């Protein structure tokens, strides 16, 4: 497998306690909002965000010629830390980025000063299978994680048969529609701000379609998430979930229950995105959690 260049950037004082922000599957680092990042940096932290391989300005991969797995995506986290000269950092992961952070906290506790998991699922909980069953109208076995909301399911069921958009405007309109569903119903949706964000995401991508390789990587790595290991996490852990989470409702409480000493923070109005109305609440909690 060839080397892959990963784009990253950092904010704040180089002497600050380092926070590494890990975004979810198929998502660029700029989905960590600038204001959110700025508040963390203003709180004295050295903040790093990056684009996963096959997203944004990081290298894209010919998956047929150079296949990779989610283990490789996880190892990119270590590569970013190494590139910034960090032996350890406070890991903050969103959605699938939270799964990556959980696994690193299990495997390499020496690299994790603290763990913050936002809008994520418990490692080894079978969230992918729950989602597939929900989208294909299959019954969930007893003990499965809570399902996504009906609004989320109906939207993505429609997308499964919709023709792909053919031009920039149509692609961005589709990205805004998806963001609206992920935003949830707890707070007003700012369509103008969503358009500015999705135009940025669209225009800075080397190849927007390459992000779909993350699905292929997951299929090639079915055993990526070990089960019954969260009790091994020793890093101080903060779990954050919104009370309007549409994708993984109630999953945060399960994570907090399985990690010894973990604290659960429920944020009013928060869905599966990071809107401005929640930034003060989120960053205050993270700054307190990462105080050294």
Q: Tell me the per-residue pLDDT of 156-201, one tens digit each, with 9 for 90 and over.
A: 999 988 898 989 999 999 999 999 999 999 999 999 999 999 999 9
| pLDDT band per the 50, 70, 90 thresholds, residue 245 | very high
The rounded distance, in Å, linking the Cα atoms of 240 and 289 is 12
Taking 90 as the threshold, does the pLDDT of residue 223 lie above it?
no
| pLDDT band per the 50, 70, 90 thresholds, residue 229 | very high
The rounded distance, in Å, linking the Cα atoms of 234 and 105 is 7
pLDDT at position 160, please? 86
What is the rounded average pLDDT of the residues 256-271? 98
pLDDT at position 222, please? 85
Long-range contacts of 82-89, Cβ-Cβ distance < 8 Å, separation of 24 or more: 83/6, 83/8, 84/8, 84/10, 84/18, 84/48, 86/18, 86/20, 87/111, 88/18, 88/112, 88/113, 89/18, 89/19, 89/20, 89/48, 89/113
Q: In residues, how long is the chain?
A: 292
CATH code of the domain occupying 8-125+209-289: 3.40.50.1820
pLDDT at position 130, please? 92
Instruction: Please name the residues in contact with 173: beta carbons below 8 A apart, sequence gap of 6 or more.
Output: 165
Residue whose C-alpha is closest to residue 214's, from 22, 49, 72, 31: 72
Averaged pLDDT of the chain: 96
pLDDT at position 1, please? 54
Domain ranges of the chain: 8-125+209-289
């Amino acid at each position: 497998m060839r080397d892959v260049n990963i784009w990253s950037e950092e904010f704040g004082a180089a002497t600050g306690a380092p926070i590494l922000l890990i975004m979810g599957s198929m998502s660029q680092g700029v989905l960590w909002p600038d204001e959110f990042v700025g508040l963390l940096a203003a709180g004295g932290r050295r903040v790093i965000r990056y684009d996963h391989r096959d997203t944004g300005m990081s290298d894209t991969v010919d998956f047929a010629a150079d296949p990779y797995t989610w283990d490789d995506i996880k190892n990119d986290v270590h590569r970013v830390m190494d590139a910034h000269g960090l032996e350890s950092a406070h890991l903050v992961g969103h959605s699938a980025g939270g799964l990556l952070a959980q696994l690193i906290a299990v495997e390499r506790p020496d690299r994790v000063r603290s763990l913050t998991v936002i809008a994520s699922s418990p490692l080894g909980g079978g969230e992918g299978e729950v989602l597939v069953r929900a989208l294909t109208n299959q019954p969930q076995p007893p003990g499965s994680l809570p399902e996504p909301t009906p609004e989320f399911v109906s939207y993505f069921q429609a997308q499964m048969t919709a023709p792909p958009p053919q031009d920039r405007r149509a692609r961005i309109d589709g990205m805004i529609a998806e963001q609206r569903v992920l935003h949830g119903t707890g707070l007003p949706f700012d369509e103008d701000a969503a358009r500015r964000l999705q135009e940025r995401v669209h225009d800075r991508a080397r190849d927007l379609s390459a992000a779909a390789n993350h699905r292929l990587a997951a299929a090639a790595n079915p055993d990526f998430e070990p089960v019954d290991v969260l009790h091994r996490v020793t890093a101080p852990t903060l779990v954050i979930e919104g009370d309007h989470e549409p994708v993984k409702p109630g999953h945060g409480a399960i994570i907090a229950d399985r990690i010894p000493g973990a604290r659960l923070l429920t944020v009013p109005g928060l869905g599966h995105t990071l809107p401005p109305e929640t930034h003060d609440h989120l960053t205050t909690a993270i700054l307190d959690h990462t105080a050294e």
